[in-house]
Amino acid sequence: MQKAHCAVLRIKDCLSYRLGQALIDYDKNGGGLCLLIKKLYHISKTHQRTQRLYKDFISLYPHLKYPALEQCSDYEEALRYKYHLSYLLGQALIKAHKSWYRGGYLKLYTSIKDARKIYKEFKQFIQDHQDFKLNNSSLILIFENKEFINDEEYKNYLTFLLQHLNPKQKQEFIKLLFSLPNSNSLLKEFKELFEEFKDYEALLVVLKHNISFHLQFINNNLTLIKEWLHSKEFKEKYLDTKHPYPSLLNPLKLDYESVDAELAWDMNVPLPDLYQFIFVLIHGAGTTSMTHFLRLCGVSLNRHWGNADFQYKQSYQMLLNNKNNYNAIIVSGSNFDGRRDKMIALCDKSCPVLCVVRDPICHFLPLINHVSGGLSKVVLKEFTLDTPMEDLFDFEVLRRKDRTTLKEQLTYYSDKDKDKEGACYLNHFLKQATKVICIDMEQILPHNAFKTLNHLAKELNFCPPQNSVLFEKYINSNGLWIGNALFYRIFKYKNIKIELSKERQNDENFIECIRNFTQNEFIIHKNKARVYIAKKDFEILKEDKELFEKITNYLKEYFVKCEEKFQEDSKKIYKEQDVLDCLRQNSILALKFKEKIDTQYSFVKKHYPEIFKSWSYYNEFEKICEEFDKH
């Protein structure tokens, strides 16, 4: 079974290799022609018998079938064994035997000479092209392309191009190149482009990537690409400004439907201009609420979370699928893959820009207190009168704060180069913005949200909100975990079922009866908890007063414990004063934190001073920094 997973051993054990090895042994040691023929015959018959046994064996035990050579870990190494002299000689002998009736053996001498020649040429080729740093499969592809071997100009073009590609790009490029009939002329075109734009590194980067991974598309559209790269529009927008993400395709003439999102991302194509505004999103500043409210007003949005390429591709597809909708693009404050700048650059339409901002001290809290890992254990979803109350609350919410200290997280967040989650990219859009609308997160809390969305609808020309009730609730993704664990449960007793939920149920056969068990406004209004029971079950309970009292007392205690659980969790998370105390004790960290805020929020500070003045915790923080400056 060891041989099954070793490509080298399997090639050395194949008929070609073993026959060739016998011919080499005969050439070195002699022994007579009759003995050689007998040995070759024995090898052939042994191979046939082994193959028959293997086929019979795997018909009984198909799961033991050898994997394909390509799946073996040493496959790349094994490829060279097909250019060993043993293998090449064996191939020549098998070919001669198969055509013996057409004089195959008369041509054997010539075939052996050819095999020796190929062996020497391949050996020399490998030595001469070590600088290419290619894997064996790519080297063999080049070697087997006779045009490359015989055409010095062709060889020079390929050598030039490979010098500009990284190892992964080289392998992909070679794999595709020799499948094209015009590979020679294509290499010449690429060389000319690389030399012409040698001083525009960003263009070279996108060219290298795309000729490596999208060569067929480049080949089919090279005339259009060259026309665009030599156009006045490209020169003014990209070349003269040394734009960091030049598009390889002309967005003004592009049929976006013909280019998929992944290819468009790789070619730096700006998003289709089918969006009406850009929402610069700051994580921890009402993200979940604002996106929810905008969607209630009929605004189509991309997903607010994810790496830059994911956001771009989803936005691209959303825009093409919703051409007649009112669309907006979310640019997230997260930058986990380090490519957020590219996403920003590809949202280049001149349009309004919206940003929800928050007191930076408060904004930091959802990041450090963020749920990371969910719940400590699977919670009970069903319970009865016999379920011990403590079992229903035996879980913890796992948060980021449990894995790091407040100072460590503040240090990370204060470093604009390291922070990959809480950045504000508003400044990046100021040049293209037709207008910038900043609103404080306070304006989208339940008592203000409906009014705020009406105002935004007029400013941005989308449909105003209709149902004020839908805007009068807290939507906090960070606080969902406890609420979902506690308020999505089913209480059962015999055939009676009572459902705890946070969703409205419109079934007329059920009644909502939470006030039978609690009057707590925190549970009912802020968490939107509800209790539903079938009308027939409710009538049964009313008739059985003793049972009704037992269940009522049990659920009353349950809801008391629910509030206690929220309070217990609230005590464990960091508060604004904890952040201020930490900054007060670390002057260097505090000043660095302030520098980042002053830079990223410079526009807000200048044009919306009333928002800055309303941030009580940040105002207190500025006083702390003033004291540091005095000393």
378-431 pLDDT per residue, tens: 999 999 999 999 999 999 988 888 888 999 989 988 887 777 777 888 999 999
- The CB density around residue 459, as the number of other CB atoms within 10 Å, is 14
- The residue range of the domain holding 493 is 478-560
Give the three-state DSSP class for 545: helix
Q: What is the pLDDT at residue 477?
A: 56
The residue from 247, 266, 285 where one domain ends is 266
Helix (H, G, I), strand (E, B) or coil at 259: coil
Radius of gyration, alpha carbons of the chain: 36
pLDDT: which is higher, 357 or 628: 357
State the Cα–Cα distance between residues 196 and 211, nearest whole angstrom.
Answer: 16
- Same-domain pairing of 93 and 189: no
CA 583/CA 620 separation, integer angstroms? 11
- Given this model, what pLDDT does residue 228 score? 97
- Domain membership flag for residue 596: no
Last residue of a domain, one of 240, 266, 292: 266
Residue 499 DSSP SS3: strand
Residue in 211, 171, 209, 174 with CA at minimum distance from that of residue 190: 211
Does one domain contain both 137 and 262?
yes
Q: Are residues 103 and 12 part of one domain?
A: yes
Number of domains in the chain: 3
Mean pLDDT of 298-326: 93
504-525 as b/e: b if 16+ CB within 10 A: eeeeeebeebbebbbebeebbe
Q: Residue with structure tokens 């204060």?
A: 414
Domain-embedded: residue 153: yes
Say which amino acid occupies 595.
Answer: E
- Identify the DSSP state of 424: -
Q: Is the pLDDT of residue 147 over 70?
A: no
Q: Which residues contact 192 (CB under 8 A, 6 or more apart)?
A: none
β strands within 494-595, DSSP E: 496-501, 510-512, 530-534
Q: Looking at the structure, do residues 171 and 58 belong to the same domain, yes or no?
A: no
Helix axes 406-414, 360-368, angle to 10 degrees: 120
Residue 217 located in a structural domain: yes
User: What's the mean pLDDT in 297-313?
Assistant: 91
SS3 375: strand
Return mean pLDDT, the chain. Answer: 89
Domain assignment present for 233: yes
Q: Alpha helix locations (H) across 495-544?
A: 521, 535-543
Strand pairing of 351-357 and 277-280?
Answer: parallel
In 3-state terms, what secondary structure has residue 224? Answer: helix
For residues 226 and 185, membership in a common domain is answered with yes
Among candidate residues 238, 263, 262, 165, the one with its CA nearest the CA of residue 208: 165
Dihedral sign, CA of 515, 517, 520, 522? negative
Same domain, 20 and 112: yes
Shared domain for 48 and 78, answered yes or no, is: yes
Do the domain assignments include residue 532? yes
Kindly state whether residue 210 falls inside one of the protein's structural domains: yes
Q: Is residue 249 part of a domain?
A: yes
Report the DSSP beta bridge partners of residue 492. 497
Asked if residue 57 and residue 146 are part of one domain, the reply reads no
Q: Are residues 151 and 122 in the same domain?
A: no
Last residue of a domain, one of 560, 581, 611: 560
- At 478 the pLDDT is 59
CA–CA distance, 121 with 116 (Å, rounded to integer): 9
19/16 Cα distance (integer angstroms): 5
In a domain? residue 472: no
Residues 160, 38 share a domain: no
| Distance separating alpha carbons of residues 344 and 312, to the nearest angstrom | 9
pLDDT in tens, 530-539: 999 999 999 9
Report how far residue 368's alpha carbon sits from residue 574's, in angstroms, rounded to the nearest whole number: 8
The values of phi and psi at residue 338, to 5°, are 75, 15
Q: Give the residue-averaged pLDDT of 545-550.
A: 92
Please answer whether residues 437 and 355 qualify as being in contact, where contact means their C-beta atoms are separated by less than 8 angstroms. Answer: yes
**Residues 118 and 149 placed together within one structural domain of the fold:** no
In this predicted model, what pLDDT tens digit does every residue of 243-297 receive, in sequence order? Answer: 999 999 999 999 999 999 999 999 999 999 999 999 999 988 988 899 999 999 9
Q: 115 and 137 in one domain? A: no
